[in-house]
Amino acid sequence: MKDQVESCVTLSVVELKLFRDLKVRLRLQSNVEVVRHGLRLLRETTDRAALRSAHRRASEATGGLNVLDRAELDVLSYKSLS
């Protein structure tokens, strides 16, 4: 794979305006910086989404066990008070 590759992308008028607005708002010097910044943000967003999904699955897998454990502890603590 080459270290530097030139490429050309055709954007619609609306996308070009968005691109230029981002370049100004983020105070970036070149179009390549806008693309790199966007790629980093996309990676961070997808990483967070993957972590959120994994946490949700783990929580769902163990959620029922916590309810059962709590019920057993409640019974034991009630018996010790009697």
**pLDDT at residue 43, as a whole number:** 92
**pLDDT at residue 74, as a whole number:** 74
**pLDDT at residue 9, as a whole number:** 85
User: Is 23 within 8 Å of 31 (Cβ atoms)?
Assistant: yes
Nearest to 21 by CA among 5, 41, 45, 38: 38
CA distance 78 to 75: 5
Split the chain (82 residues) into runs of 10 and give each run's mean pLDDT: 78 94 94 93 90 86 69 70 61
**pLDDT at residue 65, as a whole number:** 63
User: Residue 68: in which H helix or E strand, if any?
Assistant: helix 31-81
User: Is 42 within 8 Å of 30 (Cβ atoms)?
Assistant: no
**pLDDT at residue 18, as a whole number:** 94
pTM over 0.85: no
Contacts of 34 (CB under 8 A, 6+ apart): 19, 22, 23, 26, 28
